[in-house]
Amino acid sequence: EIVLTQSPGTLSLSPGERATLSCRASQSVSSSYLAWYQQKPGQAPRLLIYGASRRATGIPDRFSGSGSGTDFTLTISRLEPEDFAVYYCQQFGSSPYTFGQGTKLEIK
Amino acid sequence: QVQLQESGPGLVKPSGTLSLTCAVSGASISSSSWWSWVRQPPGKGLEWIGEIYHGGSTSYNPSLKSRVTISVDKSKNQFSLRLSSVTAADTAVYYCARRLFSSSWSIIDYWGQGTLVTVSS
């Protein structure tokens, strides 16, 4: 099983700042099969990024993804108030399709 | 617009069986998609449970495999989850979802709203 470790656990930033979230895999994951989701309280996750760097439909261009192998990054260039949420990475490279434990992005 | 809606008992007794159904609208369950279940214990992260293809092929999380069955009902355009021998650790919000795939990517693009299942006597 591929273990995904996200860091930091909590990130405290202000609107307008840049956020950098990390997802590290216990073994190499094809970048084609790494996705990022945003989840707000009481809601289902929403797909942000797939294939490590492709934005899903309707996702603003302030969200970007990068990385390969075992190290992946989600960057939010300028935080908007609605971006404060929990973010998860997920790999589809091998079953079980594991999630990271999440990074909570909170308002400073 | 694809919509998924979970239904089933919100309370299950310990050692009992959790049964949920996901009704799919706006898409055929016989399309080239995998139909998935994901759960989230209160205040915790997401756990992939397993998935099914319309032909009946399944894939389960090894941590749950001995207790999980996912099935599909093409006539009703829905799929189901059964989890046996439940304990309090199975208390969670259960989501159904659609996974699309190609030779170069895979995504979960649509999710149900989620349903809370509590295991308690």
* B104 lies within 8 A of chain A by CB: yes
Q: Check residue B108 and give its pLDDT.
A: 95
pLDDT digits (tens, 9 = 90+) for B64-121: 999 999 999 999 999 999 999 999 999 999 999 999 998 889 999 999 999 999 999 9
Q: Which of A32, A101, A98, A94 has the alpha carbon at shortest distance from A67?
A: A32
Instruction: Name chain B contacts of A50, Cβ cutoff 8 Å.
Output: 105-107
Mean per-residue pLDDT for A37-47? Answer: 97
Q: How far apart are CA B82 and CA B73, in angstroms?
A: 14
Contact B62 A96 (CB under 8 A): yes
Helix, strand, coil tally for chain B in percent (to 5)? 5, 55, 40
Instruction: Please determine, for residue A32, whether its predicted confidence score (pLDDT) is greater than 90.
Output: no
Average pLDDT value for residue range A37-55 = 96
Contact A92 B62 (CB under 8 A): no
Give phi and psi for A60, each to the nearest 5: -60, 155
* For residue A8, cis peptide bond before it (omega within 30 degrees of 0): yes
Diameter of chain B measured on Cα atoms: 46
Tracing tokens 């599909």 back to the chain, one arrives at B72
A16 shares contact with chain B (CB less than 8 Å): no
Are the beta carbons of B108 and A44 separated by less than 8 Å? Answer: no
Across chain B, mean pLDDT equals: 96
- What does the block give as tokens for A16? 């307008």
> Which range is least confidently modeled, A43-52, A59-68, B91-100, B102-111?
B102-111
pLDDT above 70 covers what percent of chain B? 100
Q: Chain A within 8 Å of B113 (Cβ-Cβ)?
A: yes
Predicted local confidence at residue B119, as pLDDT: 98
Q: Which among B48, B97, B101 has CB closest to A98?
A: B48
pLDDT value of residue A31: 80
Contact: B105, A100; criterion CB under 8 Å? no
pLDDT tens sequence across B7-55:
999 999 999 999 999 999 999 999 889 999 999 999 999 999 999 998 8
The 3-state secondary structure of chain A, one letter per residue: CCCEEEECCEEEECCCCCEEEEEEEEEEECHHHEEEEEECCCCCCEEEEECCCEECCCCCCCEEEEEEEEEEEEEECCCCHHHCCEEEEEECCCCCCCECCCEEEEEC
Biggest CA–CA distance in chain A, Å, is: 38
Does any CB of chain A come closer than 8 Å to the CB of residue B46? Answer: yes
Please indicate if any CB of chain A lies within 8 Å of the CB of B101.
yes
Which of B46, B98, B100 has the most A C-beta neighbours within 10 Å, making it the best mutation to test the interface with A?
B46
- Rounded to a whole number of angstroms, the distance from the CA of A19 to the nearest CA of chain B is 20
Q: Do A88 and B63 touch (CB under 8 A)?
A: no
Chain A nearest C-alpha distance from B17 (Å)? 22
Whole-number pLDDT of residue A30:
86
Q: Inspect the interface and report whether the beta carbons of B107 and A45 lie closer than 8 Å.
A: no
Q: How far apart are CA A48 and CA A67, in angstroms?
A: 15
Share above pLDDT 90 across residues of chain B, in percent, rounded to a whole number? 93
* Residue B54: per-residue pLDDT: 82
